[in-house]
Amino acid sequence: MPKMSKLFDQNNMFFAIMGVLFDLIVLNVLTLLCCIPIVTAGAAFTAMHSVLWRMVRHEETYVARQFFESFKRNLRQSILPWLGLLLAAVVLAVDGMLAWSMGSMRGPLVACVAFVGLLLVAVAQYFFPLLSRYEDSTAVHLGNAAKLAFGFFPRTLCMLVILAGFAALYMQFFVYMIPLLLLMGVTLPQYCCAWIYSWIFRHIDGEIDAKGRKIQRP
């Protein structure tokens, strides 16, 4: 009998994992829906990170309510930087196609475009979490995002590897991955990244020391 009660205990690992997966599915659907107008995608990514931050910190999470609260709060500030990032991505895509057709110079040119693209992703990977949690101007957020991307390069590299791995998986098995893309295609890789950047922000905020130990306040 004790074993049966433990099996259906809401705090056991199975229910905890299922709860996280359910939250990621709801969050992914909300994020994709709010990205449809394109211009609001920046606010959607910001709201997504606002919820993911709470999830990895084991804070009380109400996905839909917290998502839309963050979405409305950051909509205006997120539009211009998002459109700037989108324009830069389009320019890089065009440059990449041109570089691919350059014959003998293809390798170095493609490598340069890929490098700039990775820098852009790295900055964006910090910018939206920063916007979701801190009150600052867009310029300050972008500057801080660039500083964090280089200042915590090993963790930045880990996030880039995670994102690249998921992207390669989606492209390789796109048809089979469509259900996953719709359910957790955005939030699952970002949830993995949130565990990495959460440590960075907790360290910056003075919650933990360089070894990850909690700092005791007097």
List of residues 6+ apart from 173 with CB closer than 8 A:
none
Locate all alpha helices (DSSP H) within 8-137, ordered by sequence.
13-35, 41-56, 63-100, 106-133
**End-to-end Cα distance, the chain:** 46
CA-to-CA dists, residue 125 to 49, 51, 104, angstroms: 10, 15, 33
Domain boundaries, the chain: 2-204
Q: Tell me how far apart the alpha carbons of residues 126 and 145 are, in angstroms, rounded to a whole number.
A: 5
The pTM assigned to this predicted structure is 0.88
Question: Residue 157 phi/psi, 5° resolution?
Answer: -60, -40
Q: Reply yes or no on whether the pLDDT at 32 is more than 90.
A: yes
- Give residue 218's pLDDT: 55
Tokens 């009660």, residue located: 5
128-154: per-residue pLDDT in tens? 999 998 989 999 999 999 999 999 999
- Give residue 208's pLDDT: 66
The candidate with the shortest Cα–Cα distance to 184, out of 59, 69, 17, 8, is 17
